[in-house]
């Protein structure tokens, strides 16, 4: 098994969709970024890449590459999951915390867990999403941005060996 930790944050600006964990949430501001700026998925991607020892999200999906402009972070998560599978791992569990003063995230947590569980091919029961405010402190508490932390547990895919024609006694 391997464990990785991830973090991401984005400034909130008017005129952008607010997408978190692949779920669109009605709000007057949205996270600024090259992709859809889904801070939660970006933190999960960094946690997965950390567990794989494979760098960070910027190395795989640089904001200087127009290919990733406006892309859904779910697509980036799919590509990261494919990399994990190619290296012989699957996602066993994700634990995450999102920090935002607004919008209120509690009504969307179960939909986010379900969307992430489906995208990660692990099921919502293996994805934990917690929402916190910063009690009015710092950039998240003042409503200027959003931040997310994630831990990911990857497990090695069991290799089924072909029985040897001459097994040892």
Extents of the domains making up the chain: 2-156
Q: Give percent helix, percent strand, percent coil of the chain, each to the nearest 5.
A: 35, 30, 35
Q: Do residues 98 and 129 make contact, with C-beta atoms less than 8 angstroms apart?
A: yes
Return d(Cα 154, Cα 93) in angstroms, integer: 7
Indicate the average pLDDT of the chain: 92
Q: pLDDT for 45-89, tens place per residue?
A: 999 999 999 999 999 998 898 888 889 999 999 999 999 999 999
**pLDDT score recorded for residue 67:** 86
What architecture (CATH level 2) is domain 2-156?
Answer: 2-Layer Sandwich (3.30)
Q: How many CB atoms lie within 10 A of CB 113?
A: 21
Please tell me the pTM assigned to this model. Answer: 0.91
Angle between helix 39-52 and helix 109-120 axes, rounded to 10 deg: 40
For residue 103, whether the previous peptide bond is cis, meaning omega lies within 30 degrees of 0, is yes
18-51 pLDDT, tens digit each: 999 999 999 999 999 999 999 999 999 999 999 9
Kindly state the average pLDDT of the residues 96-109: 96
Q: According to the model, what pLDDT value does residue 60 have?
A: 94
* Residue 8 CB-density burial (10 A; 0-12 exposed, 13-18 middle, 19+ buried): buried
pLDDT at 105 over 50: yes
Distances (CA, A) of 86 to 81, 96, 117, 148, 157: 9, 24, 19, 27, 10
Q: What is the mean pLDDT of residues 132-155?
A: 95
Model pLDDT, residue 164: 47
* pLDDT value of residue 162: 46
Predicted local distance difference test score (pLDDT) of residue 168: 43
């Amino acid at each position: 098994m391997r464990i990785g930790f991830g973090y991401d944050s984005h400034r909130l600006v008017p005129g952008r969709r607010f997408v978190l964990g692949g779920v669109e949430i009605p709000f007057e501001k949205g996270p600024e970024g090259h992709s859809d700026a889904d801070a939660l998925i970006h933190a999960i991607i960094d946690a997965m890449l950390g567990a794989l020892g494979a760098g960070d999200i910027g190395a795989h999906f640089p904001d200087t590459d127009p290919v990733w402009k406006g892309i859904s972070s779910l697509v980036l998560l799919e590509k990261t999951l494919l990399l994990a599978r190619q290296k012989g791992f699957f996602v066993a569990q994700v634990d995450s915390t999102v920090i935002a003063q607004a919008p209120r995230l509690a009504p969307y947590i179960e939909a986010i867990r379900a969307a992430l569980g489906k995208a990660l091919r692990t099921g919502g029961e293996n994805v934990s999403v917690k929402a916190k405010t910063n009690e009015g402190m710092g950039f998240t508490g003042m409503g200027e941005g959003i931040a997310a932390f994630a831990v990911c547990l990857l497990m090695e895919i069991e290799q089924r060996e072909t029985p040897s024609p001459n097994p040892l006694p």
